[in-house]
């Protein structure tokens, strides 16, 4: 079983993602493939259109290649992807 820290440190581009909760009701339900990621945003290709979602105010559900679904708060994945992959995380549970 993967730990939460291992998931947070992985690359998200190419994974299936869905916005479960967000402060913007327009973003809830957006799903598709992650095509880009910046420090504060995740870009999801939804119905052929790229949608930029703010990480800090959203909760995402990612589907791994083995069909495992992981729900994670956007605050946990804030930061540049290249820095987040290298960073060691403090245990928060």
Q: What CATH number does residue 32 fall under?
A: 2.30.30.210
In a domain? residue 92: no
pLDDT band of residue 79 (cuts 50, 70, 90) is confident
Residue 58's nearest CA partner among 90, 89, 5, 12 is 12
Cα–Cα distances in angstroms (integers) from residue 32 to residues 5, 18, 23, 38, 88, in the given order: 23, 7, 19, 17, 29
In a domain? residue 93: no
In a domain? residue 53: yes
**Terminal-residue alpha carbon distance, the chain:** 17
In a domain? residue 46: yes
pTM for this model (two decimals):
0.84
Residue that the structure tokens 């820290």 belong to: 5
81 lies in which domain range? 4-86
In a domain? residue 20: yes
Number of domains in the chain: 1
Q: Does residue 33 register a pLDDT over 90?
A: yes
In a domain? residue 76: yes
pLDDT score at 21: 96
């Amino acid at each position: 079983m993967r730990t939460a820290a291992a998931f947070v440190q992985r690359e998200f581009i190419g994974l299936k993602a869905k916005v479960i909760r967000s402060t913007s009701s327009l973003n809830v339900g957006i799903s598709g493939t992650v095509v880009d990621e910046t420090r504060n945003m995740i870009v999801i290709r939804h119905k052929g259109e790229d949608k930029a979602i703010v990480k800090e105010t959203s909760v995402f559900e990612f589907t791994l290649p083995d069909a495992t679904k992981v729900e994670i708060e956007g605050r946990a994945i804030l930061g540049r992807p290249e820095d987040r992959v290298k960073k060691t995380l403090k245990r928060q549970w």
